[in-house]
Structure 1
């Protein structure tokens, strides 16, 4: 049952072919959309199907721990959750589908919804193997309402405005300072950000990702604020002077309107309505943006059935499954999640013998984990530091050292700070006074562990000599200069070592330590099956 069957109206032509467009890291036109609310419409269709099938959903129940046995060949036993009253609820299960999304709660500047913290730290604490954790995606997004400013938001070529911290004084078009005599090229690069949205080290210094870097410098390094202004054209804007790709696109779209907002209303009126739905009128006011964390391409390590490599019965799926590589094409993660859901369901249904649990083993593990959680919450009730302050420290550190701009020295400092914070949080907790705050305290616990694991893994990758790749730029004074007007000693980056494309970085948190290793990547399987033999294996269930 795919999304189209569930009622998501992806556009087709008169022959029923689905129409595509070029998207991130996409040499073809493999993306599709039903407008700015595509994700919402997908969720609504899936939720409607869940209700139609009368599948029970437990609301206001936050999973805070995974239960596993400690024997060789470990397997999942179930999960432990905290309900809205502050009581623990235990779930015994031989199979746990872990669909918790990406680690949005790790970053200060993030395009993840504010309520979406992710929960990979729960699985890491349980000892689940991870892979590719350093590979994430970052790009320009609005901050008041969290949303990628990709696609037509960039293709209409708005003005980029920088202001002082008050958001009003010191206003200037700051990008043009770096493109003296090449304004048409600058405007063409802004256009390209539409489908080259993620920050990409292959697109600096001469490509569109120089824009992300300059926005980062204005906001993080200089402490200023950056806005998109759709009400006026950038200085020197003329469609006829754009590079051929940008000019041809706007001409074919008949986007000859005199302002960016006019072109946006013509090509994608829903993009304007989306912000209006969130009390932001971009036709009348500038839109504040920053470089934000958007997607973790790495995550937990799974096999071809999406089962954890080292905990049987645990099935990480969606963004939390670390199968998305270094530079995934836009939309491919959604596809992987859809396929993963089908594969997991087939595997669980095809292996019913795995669905047996020893009650005594479950009870012993449940009691131990419950006591640990209650002891932590007991320390939290006596703590002096609030949970929001603890969360802010984690997020500030990750955005500064663990996002798209990375350095060995910075990560060494960040790792030391993360270890210290994790030890302090375990010893003292963070102040809570309500059941809801208890949930946040436990989220802080898993986020703090996760950010330590991520930072140590990032440092390991840099010290291995991988260099800059994907959406991460590794600062190296001996590398390629980012721009002639920037200090080469600070703003140069290391080249990628392509030999690491043949390897995968695996990570496990074990006995309080982060352990990393490089393993050879699995090859794409090639098969020349004989039908009768393969059919017999299928009938016997040998494929599982």
Structure 2
């Protein structure tokens, strides 16, 4: 096989690895017009849509095919958000777009696309076999979710996203796309484009099923013209998280490649069980469980909500509201249901105790007193026929699959007998990598989709993330098929420009990827040499330390001081990483963690920098984050003359709500690798408005005839 030749280069449909000489190493190279990274619902959707549009030249890669949030995460009734498709209640694309846009800091073209294509994306899943409920006349009925003025939400139960993944995967397998497992993302390979920026030409991954000290190369290069980045959010940054085991993200590699971050400060946190990791939303809260805390050993059990909420009826009603006000919302921390999240946080983080849900006994009193409930809660539970018994009896009557979920885990939990440990966990990153109206980033040819994409704003309706992933994948596939499907191998990195970029030939690709591969090889050799010389493997310790630091200093409760402390520590770790990391060269897991930890440190560095800049820009508490403000107020309970103002709560809970001044602004963040940890710069811009006009049929028809649906 040719080594680093400058012509010929091989076919753009060569999915079998070809050995090339790059940076002095013999490395297998797989070539495709498009590579999809990630095997969740967004990644599989992108691959399926590309095949549907005639592109069979697609390769998928994943660190673990069966891991990830889409396949393994859920809740009592996992929600999918879409345009109303039942009943007589009026709805429209424009109205749904406005709902999404109203969340703040969201670009209007993304909101319009997510609304306009929601029905098409939803029905695509239906046609693939996802059993969304419909009535006997074919209407897809819905319900109201958080931040939803209509009844646009639907569900197939606890495993909505898993069912989506399974049906999409079956479609992709039937289409014949190649899926490569055990591939850790190391770095994105880029080259200059005609516009003076950068464009994607490939991806370097570490094959974690190949020993680093063996005869075969553990490296794999993927050569492509387009890269769909469906890697999920940077879940590995936090210790206290509901993301499933095996969901890590790969934001760091994209940030190092020059992809800008967008709205990185906007995380979503919520109550979740910790063993197993699972959202305790919906019915789990509506059946009114008892909240108890214990010391570290399980002793000294006590109900702690009553310390701040001494009104029995108010306490029950706030717990009920957590069912569909599940994410921590700082606006509801001042006399609202999110006060419960703060009280749990006080127990676990500030007091070092453990918190459990007890479904065996009623809160405060032995018997439930329905007359004390708010009218909303009492009417709902009455209509469900559960104004009786214990929380677990109510749960089994309302939603037995939610009860049985824990019975089916290993080790299993029986909520009729066992306490369920919970905490306030990182659940979703509403920010992410910057995307335009076609989900293309500022690096040409790189398309972040799903949670990796910064398509959301501060708030979003429950289930909007699943819709966004399907729509973003569809938009990316449409653009790639229309503008970037030229598979001819070309020898010059600039040929074809940003829209018609082809796949580089051997010589050009070897030149573009040489420094990336050489740096990865050098980092591995240095880390394994340290371990061989007697320095203990520290990859696992570093991973745990950065996760604990992020949860302690940059979780749902943050301050300017805590962010600065975390940023200083992460900057030091990252700047000295190449000189301090030590990895057992005989352990594939240890070598894998060299790059996993580097990716998490890169992400944490950029994310913490964004948080510090947000505060410097005048940002205050908003979304799912409380920023401590010594001049602010503490949460309270009640209304009017009977309100309990300034509850006896920690000073860390003093807050000033954001006044909305930044809702029309978007923060973008760029990392420039260099000395030390590199330089992080910021840009604040007005968010793109919802596009107006363009709906006169004759004009749209003419444009469509001339350009298709991509212009």
TM-score of the aligned structures, taking structure 1 as reference length: 0.97
In structure 2, the residue matched to 1:78 is 202
Tell me, in whole angstroms, the C-alpha distance in 2 between the residues paired with 1:488 and 1:230.
28
Aligned pairs for 1:258-273 (under 5 A) are 258-273=389-404
**Deviation digits for residues 133-190 of structure 1, max 9, x if unmatched?**
00010000000100000000000000001000112x110011012122x111011100
Report the 3-state secondary structure (helix = DSSP H, G, I; strand = E; otherwise coil) of the residue aligned with 1:478. Answer: coil
Q: 2:451 aligns with which of 316, 319, 323?
A: 319
Q: CA deviation at 1:424?
A: 2.3
Task: State the secondary structure of the residue aligned to 1:3.
Answer: helix
Asked if 1:399 is matched to 2:551, the reply is: yes
Give the Cα–Cα distance (whole angstroms) in 2 for the partners of residues 222 and 346 of structure 1: 52
- Out of 126, 129, 142, the position equivalent to 1:4 is 126
Match runs of 1:332-351 below 5 Å: 332-351=464-483
**CA distance in 1 between partners of 2:547 and 2:140 (Å):** 40
8 Å Cα contact 1:480/1:495 also seen in 2: no
Matches of 2:152 and 2:131, distance apart in 1: 16
Instruction: Please give the residue correspondences for 1:165-180 in structure 2 after superposition, counting only pairs within 5 Å.
Output: 165-167=296-298, 169-180=299-310
Instruction: Give structure 1 stretches of 5+ with no counterpart.
Output: none
Aligned pair 1:541/2:665, yes or no? no
Q: CA deviation at 1:477?
A: 1.3
Q: Is the 8 A contact 1:162 1:225 kept in 2?
A: yes
- Is the CA contact 2:537–2:584 (under 8 Å) kept in the aligned structure 1? no
What is the deviation of 1:506? 0.4
1:33-91 CA distances to partner (integer Å, 9 max, x unpaired)? Answer: 11112222121111111222222111122222110014523110011111110410111
The match for 1:195 is 324
Aligned equivalents of 2:129, 2:567: Cα separation in 1: 47
Kept after mapping to 2: 8 A contact 1:69/1:361:
no
Q: Give the one of 496, 517, 542 matched to 2:658.
A: 496
- For each residue in 1:264-296, what CA deviation from the matched residue of structure 2 results, as whole angstroms up to 9, or x when unmatched? 001111001111111121221000000000000
- Give the equivalent residue in structure 1 for 2:110: none
- Range with bigger deviation, 357-366 or 219-228: 357-366
- Whichever of the two has the greater Rg, that structure is 2
Count how many residue pairs are aligned between Structure 1 and Structure 2. 541
Q: Does structure 2 retain, via aligned residues, the 8 Å contact 1:482–1:488?
A: no
Question: How far apart in 2 are the matches of 1:329 and 1:211?
Answer: 20
Residue from 245, 248, 252 that aligns with 2:376: 245
Alpha-carbon distance in 1 for matches of 2:649, 2:384: 40
1:33 matched residue in structure 2: 155
Q: Is the 8 A contact 1:65 1:80 kept in 2?
A: yes
Matched, 1:446 2:599: yes
> Match of 1:289, SS?
strand
The separation in 2 between residues aligned to 1:442 and 1:109, in whole angstroms, is 21
CA distance in 2, matches of 1:281, 1:316: 40
Which of 199, 206, 226 is the matching residue for 2:355?
226
* Residue number among 542, 555, 572 corresponding to 1:390 in the alignment: 542
Report how far residue 475 of structure 1 moved.
0.5
Shift of 1:8: 1.0
Deviation at 1:488, TM superposition (A): 6.6
| TM, length-normalised to structure 2 | 0.74
Q: Contact 1:162/1:224 (CA < 8 Å) preserved in 2?
A: yes
Aligned twin of 2:145:
23
What SS class does the counterpart of residue 493 from structure 1 fall into? coil
Name the residue aligned to 2:623.
470
The 8 Å contact of residues 298 and 325 in structure 1, kept in 2 or not, is answered as: yes
Task: Find the partner of 2:671 among 505, 509, 518.
Answer: 509
Contact persistence 1:390–1:430 (CA under 8 A): no
**Which residue number in structure 1 is paired with residue 178 of structure 2?**
56
Query: Which residue does 1:298 correspond to in 2?
Result: 431
Deviates more, 1:378-387 or 1:247-256: 378-387
Q: Which runs of 4+ in 1 moved over 4 A?
A: none
Partner of 1:422: 574
Query: For the structure 1 residues 370 and 288, does the alpha-carbon distance in structure 2 shift closer, same or farther, using more than 3 Å as the test?
Result: same
Which secondary structure does the structure 1 equivalent of 2:254 belong to? helix
User: Could you give the per-residue CA deviations for residues 359-403 of structure 1, whole angstroms, max 9, x where no partner exists?
Assistant: 333211211111100111112211434211101111011111212
2:519 matched to 1:361? no
Cα RMSD over matched residues? 1.5
In structure 2, the residue matched to 1:280 is: 413
Unaligned segments of structure 2, at least 5 residues: 1-122, 213-217, 487-499, 637-645
CA shift for structure 1 position 12? 1.4
Q: Report the alpha carbon displacement of residue 510 of structure 1 after superposing the two structures with TM.
A: 1.2
